[in-house]
Amino acid sequence: MAARGSRRVGEDEQERTVRARAAVVAAATDRFVAHGYAATSIGQISADSGVPSATVYRLFATKLGILSAAMDVAIAGDADPVPVAQRPVVEAALADETPRGKVAGFVSIMVAINQRISALYWVVFRAADVDEGARDLLHSLDSQRSRGQRQLARALDESGALAPGMSLPEAEDLIHALMSPETFRLLVTQRGWSPDRYADWLTDVLTHQLLG
Protein backbone atom coordinates (compact mmCIF):
# COMPACT_ATOMS: atom_id res chain seq x y z
CA MET A 1 0.00 0.00 0.00
CA ALA A 2 2.83 2.36 0.85
CA ALA A 3 4.45 1.84 -2.56
CA ARG A 4 1.14 2.39 -4.35
CA GLY A 5 0.48 5.53 -2.31
CA SER A 6 3.95 6.88 -3.04
CA ARG A 7 3.44 6.27 -6.73
CA ARG A 8 0.14 8.13 -6.64
CA VAL A 9 1.74 11.06 -4.84
CA GLY A 10 4.42 11.14 -7.53
CA GLU A 11 1.79 11.11 -10.28
CA ASP A 12 -0.12 13.96 -8.61
CA GLU A 13 3.07 16.01 -8.39
CA GLN A 14 3.83 15.36 -12.05
CA GLU A 15 0.30 16.39 -13.04
CA ARG A 16 0.61 19.60 -11.02
CA THR A 17 3.90 20.36 -12.74
CA VAL A 18 2.37 19.82 -16.17
CA ARG A 19 -0.57 22.10 -15.32
CA ALA A 20 1.73 24.76 -13.89
CA ARG A 21 3.95 24.74 -16.98
CA ALA A 22 0.93 25.02 -19.26
CA ALA A 23 -0.51 27.90 -17.22
CA VAL A 24 2.78 29.80 -17.25
CA VAL A 25 3.27 29.30 -20.99
CA ALA A 26 -0.27 30.42 -21.78
CA ALA A 27 -0.05 33.51 -19.56
CA ALA A 28 3.40 34.41 -20.84
CA THR A 29 2.33 34.06 -24.46
CA ASP A 30 -0.54 36.48 -23.92
CA ARG A 31 1.73 38.93 -22.07
CA PHE A 32 4.56 38.74 -24.61
CA VAL A 33 2.21 39.29 -27.55
CA ALA A 34 0.30 42.13 -25.88
CA HIS A 35 3.20 43.99 -24.28
CA GLY A 36 6.45 42.68 -25.75
CA TYR A 37 9.28 40.69 -24.24
CA ALA A 38 11.16 43.49 -22.49
CA ALA A 39 8.05 44.95 -20.84
CA THR A 40 6.96 41.60 -19.42
CA SER A 41 8.22 40.46 -16.03
CA ILE A 42 8.17 37.06 -14.39
CA GLY A 43 6.15 38.64 -11.59
CA GLN A 44 3.43 39.58 -14.08
CA ILE A 45 3.49 36.12 -15.62
CA SER A 46 3.23 34.61 -12.15
CA ALA A 47 0.24 36.78 -11.30
CA ASP A 48 -1.53 36.08 -14.59
CA SER A 49 -0.94 32.33 -14.43
CA GLY A 50 -1.64 31.87 -10.74
CA VAL A 51 1.68 30.06 -10.38
CA PRO A 52 3.99 31.34 -7.59
CA SER A 53 7.13 33.10 -8.80
CA ALA A 54 9.33 30.57 -7.01
CA THR A 55 7.68 27.78 -8.97
CA VAL A 56 8.02 29.69 -12.23
CA TYR A 57 11.76 30.07 -11.62
CA ARG A 58 12.02 26.39 -10.69
CA LEU A 59 10.31 25.33 -13.89
CA PHE A 60 11.94 27.73 -16.37
CA ALA A 61 14.87 29.43 -14.58
CA THR A 62 14.65 32.61 -16.72
CA LYS A 63 12.21 34.70 -18.73
CA LEU A 64 14.03 33.62 -21.86
CA GLY A 65 13.39 30.02 -20.83
CA ILE A 66 9.67 30.79 -20.71
CA LEU A 67 9.78 32.42 -24.16
CA SER A 68 11.64 29.43 -25.58
CA ALA A 69 9.12 27.01 -24.08
CA ALA A 70 6.23 29.10 -25.41
CA MET A 71 7.71 28.96 -28.90
CA ASP A 72 8.15 25.18 -28.65
CA VAL A 73 4.48 24.76 -27.74
CA ALA A 74 3.38 27.12 -30.51
CA ILE A 75 5.44 25.30 -33.11
CA ALA A 76 4.23 21.84 -32.12
CA GLY A 77 0.70 22.83 -31.18
CA ASP A 78 1.03 20.97 -27.88
CA ALA A 79 3.50 20.25 -25.11
CA ASP A 80 4.41 16.76 -26.36
CA PRO A 81 8.23 16.53 -26.44
CA VAL A 82 8.25 14.64 -29.77
CA PRO A 83 9.86 16.92 -32.43
CA VAL A 84 7.57 18.01 -35.25
CA ALA A 85 9.92 16.43 -37.80
CA GLN A 86 9.30 13.03 -36.22
CA ARG A 87 5.52 13.24 -36.04
CA PRO A 88 3.19 11.06 -38.13
CA VAL A 89 1.74 14.01 -40.04
CA VAL A 90 5.19 14.87 -41.43
CA GLU A 91 5.99 11.26 -42.21
CA ALA A 92 2.68 10.95 -44.06
CA ALA A 93 3.34 14.07 -46.13
CA LEU A 94 6.78 12.88 -47.17
CA ALA A 95 5.46 9.41 -47.97
CA ASP A 96 2.92 10.73 -50.50
CA GLU A 97 3.28 8.91 -53.79
CA THR A 98 3.38 12.07 -55.94
CA PRO A 99 5.90 14.92 -55.79
CA ARG A 100 3.14 17.53 -55.74
CA GLY A 101 1.44 15.60 -52.96
CA LYS A 102 4.63 15.78 -50.89
CA VAL A 103 4.81 19.55 -51.47
CA ALA A 104 1.12 20.12 -50.69
CA GLY A 105 1.29 18.02 -47.54
CA PHE A 106 4.36 19.82 -46.28
CA VAL A 107 2.85 23.21 -47.12
CA SER A 108 -0.25 22.35 -45.10
CA ILE A 109 1.91 21.54 -42.07
CA MET A 110 3.98 24.72 -42.36
CA VAL A 111 0.95 26.97 -42.85
CA ALA A 112 -0.59 25.56 -39.68
CA ILE A 113 2.67 26.14 -37.80
CA ASN A 114 2.98 29.70 -39.09
CA GLN A 115 -0.59 30.43 -38.01
CA ARG A 116 0.24 29.29 -34.48
CA ILE A 117 3.61 31.01 -34.12
CA SER A 118 3.15 34.22 -36.10
CA ALA A 119 2.44 36.65 -33.26
CA LEU A 120 4.93 35.09 -30.83
CA TYR A 121 7.63 34.77 -33.50
CA TRP A 122 7.57 38.52 -33.96
CA VAL A 123 7.99 38.99 -30.24
CA VAL A 124 11.25 37.03 -30.55
CA PHE A 125 12.19 38.88 -33.74
CA ARG A 126 11.79 42.30 -32.15
CA ALA A 127 13.46 41.27 -28.90
CA ALA A 128 16.48 40.01 -30.84
CA ASP A 129 17.39 43.60 -31.69
CA VAL A 130 18.15 44.41 -28.05
CA ASP A 131 18.54 41.12 -26.20
CA GLU A 132 21.40 38.70 -26.88
CA GLY A 133 19.49 35.73 -25.48
CA ALA A 134 16.53 36.44 -27.76
CA ARG A 135 18.95 36.80 -30.66
CA ASP A 136 20.37 33.36 -29.91
CA LEU A 137 16.84 31.96 -29.65
CA LEU A 138 15.90 33.45 -33.03
CA HIS A 139 18.99 31.87 -34.60
CA SER A 140 18.12 28.53 -33.00
CA LEU A 141 14.55 28.71 -34.30
CA ASP A 142 15.79 29.47 -37.81
CA SER A 143 18.23 26.55 -37.70
CA GLN A 144 15.51 24.24 -36.40
CA ARG A 145 13.16 25.31 -39.19
CA SER A 146 15.88 24.82 -41.78
CA ARG A 147 16.55 21.27 -40.61
CA GLY A 148 12.86 20.43 -40.68
CA GLN A 149 12.18 21.88 -44.10
CA ARG A 150 15.26 20.18 -45.51
CA GLN A 151 13.30 16.94 -45.24
CA LEU A 152 11.08 18.00 -48.14
CA ALA A 153 13.98 18.96 -50.39
CA ARG A 154 15.74 15.66 -49.70
CA ALA A 155 12.59 13.61 -50.24
CA LEU A 156 12.07 15.24 -53.63
CA ASP A 157 15.74 14.84 -54.53
CA GLU A 158 15.87 11.19 -53.51
CA SER A 159 12.80 10.41 -55.61
CA GLY A 160 14.33 12.14 -58.64
CA ALA A 161 11.54 14.72 -58.72
CA LEU A 162 13.59 17.93 -58.65
CA ALA A 163 13.58 19.91 -61.89
CA PRO A 164 16.56 19.47 -64.22
CA GLY A 165 19.39 21.72 -63.08
CA MET A 166 17.87 22.22 -59.61
CA SER A 167 20.49 21.43 -56.98
CA LEU A 168 19.59 20.21 -53.52
CA PRO A 169 21.00 23.35 -51.80
CA GLU A 170 19.00 25.58 -54.14
CA ALA A 171 15.83 23.61 -53.40
CA GLU A 172 16.49 23.95 -49.67
CA ASP A 173 16.95 27.72 -50.04
CA LEU A 174 13.68 28.15 -51.95
CA ILE A 175 11.71 26.13 -49.42
CA HIS A 176 13.31 27.96 -46.51
CA ALA A 177 12.49 31.39 -47.96
CA LEU A 178 8.98 30.75 -49.22
CA MET A 179 7.82 28.81 -46.14
CA SER A 180 9.28 31.37 -43.73
CA PRO A 181 7.31 33.21 -41.04
CA GLU A 182 8.36 36.41 -42.79
CA THR A 183 6.64 35.45 -46.07
CA PHE A 184 3.58 34.26 -44.18
CA ARG A 185 3.39 37.52 -42.25
CA LEU A 186 3.83 39.61 -45.39
CA LEU A 187 1.02 37.95 -47.33
CA VAL A 188 -1.41 36.79 -44.62
CA THR A 189 -1.00 39.31 -41.79
CA GLN A 190 -0.07 42.42 -43.75
CA ARG A 191 -1.70 41.87 -47.15
CA GLY A 192 -4.80 40.12 -45.84
CA TRP A 193 -4.54 36.80 -47.68
CA SER A 194 -6.44 33.93 -46.12
CA PRO A 195 -4.30 30.99 -44.96
CA ASP A 196 -6.00 28.82 -47.59
CA ARG A 197 -5.13 31.24 -50.38
CA TYR A 198 -1.55 31.40 -49.12
CA ALA A 199 -1.35 27.60 -48.98
CA ASP A 200 -2.64 27.26 -52.56
CA TRP A 201 -0.23 29.91 -53.82
CA LEU A 202 2.71 28.40 -51.95
CA THR A 203 1.95 24.91 -53.26
CA ASP A 204 1.75 26.21 -56.84
CA VAL A 205 4.95 28.27 -56.59
CA LEU A 206 6.98 25.52 -54.95
CA THR A 207 5.68 22.94 -57.41
CA HIS A 208 6.64 25.13 -60.36
CA GLN A 209 10.03 26.11 -58.94
CA LEU A 210 11.11 22.76 -57.54
CA LEU A 211 9.57 20.29 -59.96
CA GLY A 212 9.60 22.27 -63.19
Residue 28 scores a pLDDT above 60? yes
For position 79, what pLDDT does the model report? 87
| Percent of residues in the chain assigned helix, strand, coil, to nearest 5 | 80, 0, 20
Residue 6 scores a pLDDT above 60? no
pLDDT in tens, 81-99: 888 988 999 999 999 999 9
Give how far the C-alpha of residue 156 lies from the chain's centroid of Cα atoms, to the nearest Å. 23
Record the pTM.
Answer: 0.89
Scored b (16 or more CB within 10 A) or e, 10-40 reads eeeeeeeeeebbbbbbebbbbbbbeeebeeb
CA distance to 35, 43, 83, 90, 128, per residue, from 50 (Å)? 19, 10, 29, 36, 28
pLDDT in tens, 190-209: 999 999 999 999 999 999 99
Percent of the chain with pLDDT over 90: 89
- Determine the 3-state secondary structure of 127 from DSSP: helix
Q: What is the mean pLDDT of residues 135-148?
A: 95
Q: Look at phi and psi of residue 194 and say left if phi exceeds 0, alpha if psi is from -120 to 50, else beta.
A: beta
- Strand ranges (E), the chain: none
Q: Domains plus CATH for the chain?
A: 1-79 (1.10.357.10), 82-212 (1.10.357.10)
Q: From the CB of residue 86, how many other CB atoms can be counted at a distance below 10 Å?
A: 9
User: By the 8 A CB rule, do 29 and 70 touch?
Assistant: yes
For position 4, what pLDDT does the model report? 61
Percent of the chain with pLDDT over 70: 95
pLDDT in tens, 47-70: 999 999 999 999 999 999 999 999
For position 121, what pLDDT does the model report? 97
For position 11, what pLDDT does the model report? 62
